[in-house]
Structure 1
C-alpha cells in the first residue's frame, strides 16, 4: 500500500483481447473500475475474473465525455489519485512508485510520457506528454470526442506535477473504426463554436478524409479565432491547409502555406519536413537540402502531441541522401544514407540504399564509370515520392 490511494478507471467495449495485458499493467493500483458500454464478447467476464469492478451501462447517444464522466463516478470519493486509461494502453512497470514520488498533497493533475504509436520495427513513433491522471474532486470531462479534463471545482485547481518515470504505451486495434469521430467533432464545434482546439481537430479530420475544401475553410477559420494563439497548433493548421492545396494541385498556395507554417513555428521540425517532401516531389534538390538541414537543426523534441515520428526518424537523412545523389554528390549521399540506416536499422530499403551507394562511390574512386539502370534508381527512390 502506498501513501496515496490510487484508482484506475476506464471505459471499454468488446476489448477482451486486451483485458489480460491491461489488467497486468494496472495491477499496481489499489483499485480498478471499468464502465463497459455494451460488450458482446467476453470482456466483462475477463475483467471481473482479473479483479476489476465492472459496471455495464449503455451510453446513448454516444459521447466520449459522457462515458468518461460516468466511469469517473465509479471511482470512490476517498481516492487520492485517479488514473484514466483505455484498454489498448499499457503502463510500464514501476509507474505507481514514480507517480507517488511526483505527486504532492493538493496536486491537481500529473503529466507523463505517452507513446501514441510505434513504428513497424517496434521503435517509438509519436510521443508526447499526457495529462489524464488527476485528483478525484473538481474535475469533469468535456467535449463529445477528443475529450479533455476541465476544472469545475471551487477556486483554482491544484498544480500540475511532472511524473517522470511514468510511461504509458498505446497499442491500438488496427481494425477499429474511427468513423464516429467526424460527426462527433462536428457536434462539438456546434456546441462550442468558440473552442479553437476542436475547430482545429475538425479541420484536421476533414484532411484525413480527403475533404480538402472543407479542411481549408475550417482551418482558415481556426487561424482567425482570437483564442487560437498556440503557435504549434497554428502551424499545424497551416501545414494541413498546405497539404490540401497540394492535393488540389495548387503548388504555389501549398508552398506559401508551408512557409507561413515555418515562420509561425520555426522551433518545430514538422513544417520544414513537410515543405522538404513537397520539394522532393518537385525535384527541387537544393531546396530539399536546405529545409532538411533546417529541420535537423531543431534538436529539442517537443512534449506536445504535434510531434510526428517521421520528422525525428530516418526521413530527413533519407531525403538528403537522395537529393545529394541527384545532384551528383555521391560521397555525401552515402554519408546521409548511412545516417538514415543507422536510425532505422531494420528498414531493408535504407540498407539497400546504403549498399548501392557504397558500390557507386567505390567504382567512382577506382575511376570506373558505373552504370546503374533506371530500375535500380527507381527502386531506392520509390518510397519518398
Structure 2
C-alpha cells in the first residue's frame, strides 16, 4: 500500500524531529506551512518532508487542511492527517495495513489520546477519523474541522484497531482564534447543531455564562439536534452555567436531564455525583457514582471526558461509603481511586484515613 502523511503547521520547529520520527513509517510526508518564522519548513525538509509554504487569509482550518491534502500524490491508497504536536505509537503503519486488509473501507478512525495527566497517564480519549482515501473527501468547518465524504451515499467508516495517536500540545500556544472561528461557523451554518454545541461550550470555557446558556439552549432547540450524547453534553454544560450563576436547583435539573438523555454515558452520572457531594447528600453520591462505574464501555466519540474515566467516580464512591458507615468498601474504592492517580496526595491521605478508621 502507498500510505502518505499530510499536515499543516506554523512555528512548530520544536516538534519537527519528534514528529518526523513518528511519521517515518509512511511512504512520504507532505506539509503545508502557513507562515512560520522559526525555521519550521527547513527543519522538516532536512528530515525528508515535502514542504509547501502558503498563507491562508482569512485563516480557517478547513481551507488549510484541504490545501495540504492537495499536496498528497495521486497514487495514495490511504492519506493520514496529523498535526506536528501528535505522535503515533510504534508500528502504526503495519497495524493500519492489517486493519485495511481485514476491513476494506474508504476511511478509518484511530484511537486518539487528546490529553495526558502530569504523570503521562491518558486523559481524554476518543476515536478520530483522520485516515482516508485520496479522493472524495474534504475537510469542513472553520475550526474543529471534520472529514466529510462528498458523494451522494454515505460510505463506511472502519476502525484502525491498534493504531493510536497521542496529542502532546504546546501549552504556551494560544487558542484565542478558536472563539471567532466558532462564531463564524455558527453564522455560516446556523441550523447545524454541531456548530451551536461547540460555540456554547467555548463560551462556557471563556466564562461567559449568559452567552453559553443562550447558545446551548439554541443547540437543544435545533430540529437536527438529535444526537443524544451531544445533547447530554450541552445539558451538563447548562448545569455548570447555572451553578456559576447561583441557580443550584436548576443545575440539578439539567444534570438529571443529561443522565436521562444519554444513560449509557458516565459523564452525567459523575457530574451529578459531584453535585451531591457538595450538598453532602451521600446516598445520592453513592447512587450516581455506582451507576457510573457500572458502565465499563467508554464511548468512542469526542463526547467523553477524562474525569469520568479516572479516579473521580471511585473517589466519590469511597467518600460516600465512608460517610454511610461502610468502611471496608470505602477502603476498597479508595484504593482503586489511588490506582488511577498514584501520585495524588489527597487520595493517599484519604485511603490512609479510611484504613486507620476501619
Fold shared per TM-score above 0.5: yes
- 2:191 aligned residue (191, 194, 202): 194
Cα distance between partner residues in 1 of 2:247 and 2:17? 50
Q: Secondary structure at the match of 2:169?
A: coil
Counterpart of 1:141 in structure 2 is 139
Counterpart of 2:317 in structure 1 is 320
Counterpart of 1:61 in structure 2 is 58
Q: Secondary structure at the match of 1:103?
A: helix
Counterpart of 1:348 in structure 2 is 345
Counterpart of 1:116 in structure 2 is 114
Displacement of 1:346: 2.6
Counterpart of 1:20 in structure 2 is 17
Give unmatched runs, 5+ long, in structure 1.
362-385
Q: Secondary structure at the match of 2:30?
A: strand
Displacement of 1:97: 1.2
1:150 aligns with 2:148: yes
Contact 1:106 1:159 in 2 (8 A): no
Counterpart of 1:184 in structure 2 is 181
Write out aligned runs for 1:160-309 (5 A): 160-309=157-306
Displacement of 1:142: 1.2
- Structure ID, larger Rg: 1
Counterpart of 1:368 in structure 2 is none
Displacement of 1:158: 4.2
Q: Structure 1, residues 271-310: CA drift from partner, whole Å, max 9, x if none?
A: 0111111111122222111111111111111111111111
- Report the TM-score, using the length of structure 2 for normalisation: 0.96
Displacement of 1:157: 5.4
Cα distance between partner residues in 1 of 2:209 and 2:176? 18
Counterpart of 1:94 in structure 2 is 91
Cα distance between partner residues in 2 of 1:158 and 1:221? 30
- Report the TM-score, using the length of structure 1 for normalisation: 0.89
Cα distance between partner residues in 2 of 1:331 and 1:315? 19
Displacement of 1:195: 1.1
Cα distance between partner residues in 2 of 1:33 and 1:234? 37
The alignment of Structure 1 onto Structure 2 pairs a total of residues equal to: 357
Which runs of structure 1 show a deviation greater than 6 angstroms over 4 or more consecutive aligned residues?
A: none
Counterpart of 1:29 in structure 2 is 26
Q: Secondary structure at the match of 1:183?
A: helix
- Between stretches 246-255 and 330-339, larger displacement belongs to 330-339
Give unmatched runs, 5+ long, in structure 2.
none
